[in-house]
Each structure stands twice: as structure tokens, then as C-alpha cells.
Chain A
Amino acid sequence: MVEPWIKKYAPKHINEIINQSEAIGKIKSFIEKYPNVNKKALLIYGPPGVGKTSSIYAIANDLNYEVVELNASDNRNARVIHEKLGEAIKGKPFFKKGRIILVDEVDGLAGFQDRGGVGALAKIIEESRWPVILTANDPWDPKFKKLRDLCDMVEFKKLSNYDIIRQLKRICANEKITIDDNVLSALADRSSGDLRSAINDLQALAMMSSHITLKDLEVLGYREREITIFKALGQMFKANTIMGATLPFADVDMDPEEIKAWVEENISNEYENIKEIYEAYNWLSLAVVFYGRIYKRQYWDLLKYFTTLMYAGVALAKEKRYNKFTKYRMPQYIRKLSQNKEIREKIEELSKNLQKKVHTSKHRVREVYINTLIVLMKENEKIGRKYAEILGFNENEISYIKGAVEKL
């Protein structure tokens, strides 16, 4: 059996951990100083695949500690937690200098709280003679409030494309694989900061060939959709008839609602004359209004009007066909906007108390205070923190907000 590369290339030592030096420093000092620490446990959080768990093992290895792990595959109600960890938190390891109690993915288990999981964990943290470390993707769920209060929080950052590409290159060199640079950046793009998934993809590609090209990416399934939409866009922009403009999209496995963003992104990419651009946008704008009506009434029979106005309106806006090669783009802003929204919503979730204090609705709290908080945090951390304090956020929450705002 082939060894999974994510295991093979997991960091064995602290210096092999990629780009998390601040977090690593905190974890290391927590373990070494324990039990003379501020809070009795650490809660490590961050997106998937950035090295939270593997870092703990690397640190343990360097410090000559053993790791006792309770992970998502274990059932984690109060009884199991007590059975699995009850002994470990008391005894001494035979061969190692110390022990780390690792509870992986605390947010991963449904109903965990109901079956006394949180309470049992709190007890473990309280009684343990060894450092307890928890990991989570999203620790801001209200049901973890009690755990958050017991823990110092350490954030793992999302990895940059650069970090990921560097790591993939290292693996390729070691595995004697040649790979095109554009494949590397495509893999990095796809992973959105998740090194684990990028390495998994790479291994899947390498199983088929030792020279990987962009063409091979299709095998992973996720290129296909884009190839067909790019083709359809090309045909639409060149079309001179209504049929010619609408037919190419018959094969595209995408909702017209989704396609409209691709069309919009590429109007000014294809057309150069402002009159054409205006006419294309005006049709697209009207088509969207039509879509709004269809949606409101749930009258999907009318969808053909939306698509026809969109495709043909944009195609027929040109005065004459452009004989050039256009490199079509995928829509950029949607991902950015929705990511933006998600982060803002998380911050708002933390603002229930504030809402009471200032006698107003969530909507107004967002409009007035949260917006200001985000701006201040961005412009000047010290002032942002001061303002957050005034609004009544606690230290953990402020650190989280700081981190979240950086991603905006």
C-alpha cells in the first residue's frame, strides 16, 4: 500500500512547520511552562489543513513528549472522555519526558455538548497534570463559550499560495516528479490555503504520470466545468444570432444564475467599445430584473426569457465580431464578497450583548458599531482594540476580531 503523502511529509520537527512561527512559539512555551501558565489549556483554531494537529506532534517530538490523542473518530460523550483520558492525565510516561493531552477537532462532533462532553472536558482540563491542547476549525460557536473561557486561544493562519507551492515543489523534487508551474499554482488556488488537500491532489495526479501538465488536472474533475463554460462564453461572444448566442450554454452544467457572473466578468474583457459595453450591460441588467420577478413568483417557466435576454442581449450588443483571442476570466468578486460577508457575520454573532446595551436591532448594530469597529481595527490596531473594549468585547473576542478583520 502506498503511504499517504500527507503522512509521509508531515513535519517531524518544529523547523519543518510552515509559516506558523507565532503560534508555534506560544504552544511551545505553554508546554514548557506548564503548569505555571495563564490558563490551563490551549485552544488552537484555524482553517483545515494548515498544520494544527501535525504541529503538535512535531513539537512533542522535539521536546521528547508523548501525545495522547482523543480525536473525532472517538465517541466523545462524558463517559468516553473520562475513560480515555482519566488515567492519562494523572500517570507518568515511561519513556518520555512528558505528555500532551490532545483533543482534536472539538467542534467536529455533533451533539457533543448535550452528552456532557463540554463539562467532562472542563473537568479534564482542571485536573490534568499535563498540558491539554484542543483544536477546532471554528471555535466561535456559542456552545463553546465555556471551553473558550478555560483556554488561551492560538490562531493558525491560512497558508498563502506561495507557502503551498513551495511545499508541493519540495515533495515533487523528492518524488522525482516534474510538474508545470501553472499546475502548481492551479493546485494552490484550488486548495484555498489547505495544504492537506493540495498534497492529496498532487498525490492523485502523480499516480498517473511522473510529468504533470495542466491537461492532467481535468482528471481531478474540477477543471471540466470551467472548460465548458469558457468554450460557451467564446461562442456566445462571437455569435450574431439569438440561437447562436443561447445554444452554447445548453451543455454547461451550471445554473444560469451562476453563469450571469461569468458573463458580466467578461463583457469588458471582450468588448472594447463603450457603446457595446453599455448595451450589453443594459440587457444583462434588464435580464436580471426579469430573474428577480421569476424568483419572487417562483415562476420558473419564464426562465427562458431571462437566459435569452442575457445571452442574446450581450451577444448582439457588438457592432461587429472581434477577431481576437480573448482569455476569459472566472468571476473574481463573488468569492471575495461572500468571504467578506461570512467574516462580518461571525463578528456580528459576538455582538448580542452590545445590542441590548445600546437598545437597538442587529441591523443597526452592524450599520453603526460593527462597521466602525472593522474600520478602526484595520487602520490602527491599538485604537481598534480600545474601541472594542468600549463596546464591551472581551480579550479573546477582540483577538478573534483582529484576526478576522485581517482577512477582509
Chain B
Amino acid sequence: MSDNEIWTEKYRPKRLDDIKGQGEIVKRLKAFVESKNMPHLLFAGPAGVGKTTAALALARELYGDKWEQNVLQLNASDDRGIDVIREKVKEFARTKPIGNVPFKIVFLDEADAMTRDAQQALRRIMEEYSSVTRFILACNYSSKIIEPIQSRTVIFRFKQLDKKDVFELLKSIAEKENLNISDDALEAIYYISEGDMRKSINILQAAALYSKDITPELIYEVTSIAKPQELQEVLKLAYEGKFAEAREKLIDLMIKYGLAGEDIIKYLSKEVYSMNIPEKEKLDIIYYAGEIEYRLLEGSDPIIQLGALLAYIGLRGLQNRK
């Protein structure tokens, strides 16, 4: 019956108390529920650590089963244009909140995707409707939010989840779904998702479609990242000076897994640590990888930038052999 649900939703914590790893924030949010009052909020933090979950749980506890009528969820990166947002907010704020809380909530996700001008306009919208609504803005980096908005909101910084928290959550899901999950498999999920719970749970669900026994091999099988071995192979070829082969292989990986240059260079530089070469060599390569990641941001064109990195690794290999 329940096996047709999306687990990231099924296991999304419904109550503030169920949210893991964000203790201080939860405490403050509960105080808002208690007093049925809150300021505008700005949730900052990486993806998949509970920002949306916290906003939804807060709404649930404030409004009970009427929460959906009292919350407008918008996405700054999708709802193109500030006018669209203004229209939607206006429409939403026209009616009174249902229940005994004196305001409604507008949850605006990915607010840092907005341009500065759009943020200025947003600020005015927030002021216009502040008597009947409270805004919760979510973003990855609060530094990308303009000062006037920052000063009008209370900023909550969500922490990256600890490995311990992620493991605990995954284990409890595994138990409820009758899965056997090895510690290595948990490590593999963490390696791929880097503490992003949405990714972690989704990977677990995908793997569980294959088997009740979750192994690291299975985890890599169901994720769209190049396996560490494949990346090691690229680095090894490059270090041995087999540039053309390394390049070919890298392009194949990008196409096979649909990876952007930025993803590839992140995975590659992570793999440099485990290369079988002197530590000082690694440091040089990591420095150049950083330079290349920067150039990628400035000028794009992943094939050229990554080609330069592979060639540099080849050059280091050559000098080391001499």
C-alpha cells in the first residue's frame, strides 16, 4: 500500500520535534508557535538539511489541519519575474487567515536566485503585506540576500547534517522498510549525497527497488555519479601521460552520467586525495584544480578547462618519473 509513496515526502518530519540536527533552531521555532507570533524569517543553509521541512512543520503546528490554506509556497528560481510573485502574494493576502493565528505565511524558496533588483521589489512586497503575512525566505547563502532584507528578517543558519545524524535517519527508515543496510552502504550514500537528506533518502528508495539488501555496489548502481573507480581510472591515465585516453574517458563519463563540468571537477578533486602518488604532488594538483574550477566559473567550457587539468596532471606525472 505505502510502497507507491515518494520516500522523501513519506519520511519528511511532520513535527518540529522530529527534525534532526537543528536543535537550536527548532527550539526558537517552537517558541513562535507557542506565542502565535513570529517575525519574517530567513533560513540559510545548504540543500537538503531541513529548511523546507522546518517551514512546513512550523506551519502545521501553527495552523493544525488548516495549514495548507494558510501557506503560499513559491519558488524564486521558477516563478519567473517579481511581478508573478507580487500577483500571487497579493491574491493570497487578500483573504483572512483561517483559524486563530493573525497572519498567513509566504514561503519563498531559493530567494538567493533572485537578482538584486528583484530582491528590492520583494522587500517592498514584504512591507506592503506585513500586517497580514509573514515571509519565510530560504536560501543557500545569506550573503546573496541584500542587506535591507537581511535586516528585516531573523536569520536562522541551518547546519550541514553530521554523518551521525544522516546515518541515524537512514537506519530508522531502513528499519521501517525492512531493509538490511551495511555500514559501507551508509558510507557510500554519504559520499554521494554529502549530507543532503533529500538525496540520501531518494538514493535509498531507488536502491530498495532492487533489493532489500543495500550494499555499496547497489548504491553506486542507482546514482548518477561517476563511480570513484572510474574517476581514479581517468586520473591514473592522465598521470601516466596518456592524455588522449584520459580525455576520451572523461567525456564519456560526462555524457553517460549527464554531469556538468562543475560536478566533474568536484568529484575529481575529491579523488585526488586517494591517488597513489606523493602527498606533495597531490597538493600541486589540488592547487591547479582550484584554479581550474575558478576558470570554469569565469569562462565556462568544461571540456577545455578539464582538458587543461588532465594535461597538468600528466605533466606532474612526467616530472615525477624523471
Chain A interface residues toward B at CB < 8 A:
260-261, 264, 267-269, 274-275, 277-278, 280-282, 284-286, 288-293, 332-333, 336-337, 340, 344, 355, 357-364, 367-369, 371-372, 374-376, 379-380, 383, 386-387, 389-392, 408
Given A368-B199, A371-B224, A392-B6, list of 17 further CB < 8 A pairs?
A: A264-B307, A268-B244, A274-B241, A280-B311, A281-B311, A282-B308, A285-B299, A288-B300, A288-B305, A332-B251, A337-B254, A358-B6, A359-B9, A359-B52, A360-B75, A390-B3, A391-B6
Selected from B222, B304, B315, the residue in CB contact (under 8 A) with A284 is: B304
**Given the known A-B contacts A275-B315, A277-B311, A278-B311, are A264 and B303 also in contact in the complex, defined by CB atoms under 8 Å?**
yes
Chain A hits for B243, CB < 8 A: 268, 274, 277
Is B258 an interface residue, CB under 8 A from the partner?
A: yes
Name the residue of chain A whose CB is nearest to the CB of B307: A281
Q: Flag B243-256 by CB within 8 Å of A: 1 or 0 each.
A: 11001000100110
By DSSP majority rule, is chain B's interface helix, strand, loop, or mixed? Answer: helix
**When A358-B9, A375-B224 are in contact, do A285 and B304 touch as well, CB less than 8 Å?**
yes
Contact present for B314 and A292 (CB under 8 Å): no
Segment at the interface with A among B84-92, B127-135, B151-159, B203-211:
B203-211
- A-contact bits for B293-322, CB 8 A (1 contact / 0 none): 001001111011101100110110110000
Q: B residues touching A (Cβ–Cβ < 8 Å)?
A: 3-6, 8-9, 47, 52, 56, 73, 75, 77-78, 109-110, 198-199, 202-203, 205-206, 209-210, 221-224, 241, 243-244, 247, 251, 254-255, 257-258, 292, 295, 298-301, 303-305, 307-308, 311-312, 314-315, 317-318
Does A372 lie within 8 Å of B4, measured CB to CB? no
Asked if B198 and A288 sit within 8 Å, CB to CB, the answer is no
CB distance from B50 to the nearest CB of A (A): 12
Return the contact of B224 from the options A360, A363, A374 (Cβ within 8 A): A374
Residue of B nearest to A382 (CB): B209
Q: Is the CB of A274 within 8 A of B206?
A: no
A-side binding surface: helix, strand, loop or mixed? helix
Please state if A274 and B318 are interface contacts (CB–CB under 8 Å).
Answer: yes
Q: Closest CB of chain A to B311's CB: distance in Å?
A: 4
* Residues of chain A contacted by B47 (CB below 8 angstroms): 364
CB pair B312–A358 under 8 Å, yes or no, is: no
| Known contacts A288-B304, A360-B52: A386-B222 contact under CB 8 Å | no
The reply to whether B4 and A369 contact each other, CB–CB distance below 8 Å, is: no
Which listed residue, B202, B223, B254, B318, touches A369 by the CB 8 Å rule?
B202
B172 → A minimal CB distance (Å)? 20
CB closest chain-A residue, reference B9: A358
CB distance from B115 to the nearest CB of A (A): 14
Query: 16 A-B residue contacts at CB 8 Å?
Result: A274-B243, A274-B318, A278-B315, A280-B311, A281-B312, A282-B311, A284-B304, A288-B299, A336-B255, A357-B6, A358-B6, A359-B9, A360-B198, A363-B110, A372-B203, A372-B222
Measured CA separation A51–B300 after assembly (Å): 40
B201 to chain A, nearest CB (A): 9
The answer to whether A344 touches B299, judged by C-beta atoms less than 8 angstroms apart, is no
Are A278 and B210 in touch, CB under 8 angstroms? no
- Complex Cα–Cα for A367 and B254 (A): 15
- How far, in whole Å, are A282 and B307 apart by their CA atoms in the complex? 9
Asked whether, in the complex, the Cβ of B314 is within 8 Å of the Cβ of A277, the reply is yes
Shortest distance from the beta carbon of B196 to any chain A beta carbon, whole Å: 8
Q: Is the CB of B315 within 8 A of A274?
A: yes
Most buried by A among B56, B198, B205, B251: B198
Contact between chains at A375 and B303 (CB < 8 Å): no
How many whole Å from B20's CB to the nearest CB in chain A? 18
Asked whether, in the complex, the Cβ of A387 is within 8 Å of the Cβ of B209, the reply is: yes
B169, chain A: closest CB distance, angstroms: 16
Flag if A383 contacts B221 (CB, 8 Å).
no
Residues of B within 8 A of A280 (CB): 311
In the bound complex, do residue A376 and residue B206 qualify as a contact, i.e. CB atoms below 8 Å apart? yes
Nearest-neighbour CB distance to chain A for B262, whole angstroms, equals 12
Q: A285-B305, A358-B8 are in contact. Are A274 and B210 (CB under 8 A)?
A: no
Distance A329 CA – B73 CA, assembled complex (angstroms): 50
What chain A residues lie within 8 Å of B203 (beta carbons)?
372
Q: Measured between alpha carbons, how far is A333 from B302 in the docked complex, in Å?
A: 11
